[in-house]
Amino acid sequence: MSEKQFHSIHITRDKCVGCVHCMAACPTKAIRVKDGKARITDDLCIDCGECLRYCPYDAVHSHTTSFAALDAFAYKVAMPSNVIYGQFGSATLPSEILSALRRIGFDEVYDLSSICELNNAATEEYLNENPRPRPFITPTCPVVVRLIQRCYPALCGQILPIEPPREIAAKILRTILPKALNIASEKIGIIHITPCSAKMVSINSPATLNKSYLDGAISIRDIYPQVLKALRKSHEDELMRHLFPETQFSGIGMGWSLSGGETRGLKKHRAVAVSGVRDTMRVLDQVEAGLLQDVDLLECTVCPDGCVGGPLEVENRFLAKSRILQLVDAAGERSVVDPKDVSRLYHKNFLSFDHPATPVDSHPLDADPARAIRKAKRREKIFGDLPRKDCGVCGAPDCRTLADDIVRGLARLEDCPFVKKEKR
């Protein structure tokens, strides 16, 4: 493959015992176990984090920004995913979490719910102006964009070309902060706080921007202990703060981290929300077959239940979801964004992609179609000889993939323990 792709998911060789859990869980069949260690094929990996969830030996790690790396910036801004509001139990208010982040070293902290609402209004406007194609697919989950580029190239044109809230928020801050603070833009570090490592991929190799407006992403899991400590220390403030109602959060934007949250605020359009990587693939298969054309917007997030099911959060997703739903209920339909402002930004193309997401090289069996066809025939024949136990002992996730690897020259028939036995 041409250029080296950035990936946030890596396998720690020392911890890997060579079992088959990650390999079986990988939705794009990107993992093979060779010489007793799991290996990820870069071209096939979409950074969904399924392997991270399923590894029983903690051998899959994700690369996110370290807290120490923030020292490089003179002014540090945190922009946490709304998922963070569900991490500290139901007695902790969002404003307390934001001020705890300030106390642990960020100069400023911005809530994203208002920008989520902004995005919602822009989406509504885009759908009004563009009656075709249908459905558009939301680009908020960077894994979905990568999945479409690699496995559903025909759908690249159906990705809704409006940047997700984290990038829009960072772009707004990049525009106003250097002037307001009189600090050079490169000295201002804008950091997302994330429940998944895929955001790191979209920051380092953005699919639809020339350059990300964010400088990094710290995982909720990494920052959790410090935030918790800061929250405990400020117990007295907490009591005080509870006496004031919060006003700055958007009711429409608050639920964005839950599946269906991105589309809840749409008034005039039919939206469908899908979550989980396998269900997302199932529905994208249907869209590729021409279905769901009566749906205006398809919200896809590869984590179960939406971002709230991200692999790098701390609280279990059911509790986190319940807490966020409480906050959504409390905020109601509260709107904090003026649609006229959104419209202005929208028509200035401030919210748009720099360029569309384009298909990433597919992997046919051979670059030459005639040879690829012959290989496909051979593959069927080989598959017919395999035991179809999908045991993974050969190092491929299932018999079909082993047959595929064999015709691509990546594995041998003898790798199958059952074939060997029969020959003896």
Can you give the binding site for other proteins, defined by CB under 8 A? 153-154, 285-286, 288-291, 294, 359, 362, 364-374, 376-377, 379-380, 404
Least Å from the CB of residue 43 to other proteins: 14
- Indicate the residue among 366 and 390 with the shorter CB distance to other proteins: 366
Shortest separation between residue 92's beta carbon and other proteins, angstroms: 43
Closest CA to 260 of 307, 214, 217: 307
What the block records as the tokens of 350 is 């401030």
**Phi and psi of 187, rounded to 5°?**
-90, -10
The distance of closest approach from Cβ of residue 153 to other proteins in the complex, given in angstroms and rounded to an integer, is 5
303 close to 310: Cβ distance less than 8 angstroms: yes
CB 273 within 8 A of CB 267: no
CB nearer to other proteins: pick between 153 and 339:
153
Q: Which helix (H) or strand (E) holds 274?
A: strand 271-275
**8 Å CB contact between 314 and 92:** no
Q: Which of 406, 345, 350 is nearest to 379 (CA)?
A: 406
17/373 with CB nearer other proteins = 373
Q: Considering the complex, what minimum distance in angstroms separates the CB of residue 85 from other proteins?
A: 36
Tell me the one-letter amino acid at 196: C
Give me the amino acid identity at 81: S
Nearer to other proteins by C-beta: 154 or 176?
154
- Comparison of 239 and 370: residue with beta carbon closer to other proteins: 370
Q: How many CA atoms lie within 13 A of 86 on its CB side?
A: 31
Cβ-based nearer residue to other proteins, 74 or 373:
373
Given a contact cutoff of 8 angstroms between Cβ atoms, the answer to whether 189 and 73 are in contact is yes
Per DSSP, 246 falls in state -
CB of 154 to other proteins, least distance (A): 4
C-beta closer to other proteins: residue 44 or 181: 44
Query: Distance between CA 233 and CA 240 in Å, rounded?
Result: 14
Contacts 24+ apart (CB under 8 A), 168-175: 168/115, 168/118, 168/119, 168/350, 168/351, 169/79, 169/110, 169/112, 169/115, 170/79, 170/212, 170/213, 170/214, 171/213, 171/350, 172/115, 173/77, 173/79, 173/110, 173/213, 174/213
CB of 37 to other proteins, least distance (A): 27
Using the minimum distance from each CB to other proteins, give the nearer residue, 43 or 125. 43
Cα-based distances in Å from 408 to 24, 41, 127: 20, 14, 43
Least distance to other proteins, CB of residue 41, Å: 16
Closer residue to other proteins (CB): 187 or 371: 371
Cβ closest to other proteins, residue 15 vs residue 377:
377
Q: How far is the CB of 159 from other proteins (least distance, A)?
A: 15
DSSP secondary-structure letter at 101?
H
Closest CB 106 distance from other proteins, rounded Å:
44
Taking CA atoms, 412 is separated from 31, 386, 387, 405, in Å, by 17, 12, 15, 8
Q: How far is the CB of 285 from other proteins (least distance, A)?
A: 6
Rounded Cα distance, 168 and 212, in Å: 10
Classified as helix, coil or strand, 4 is coil
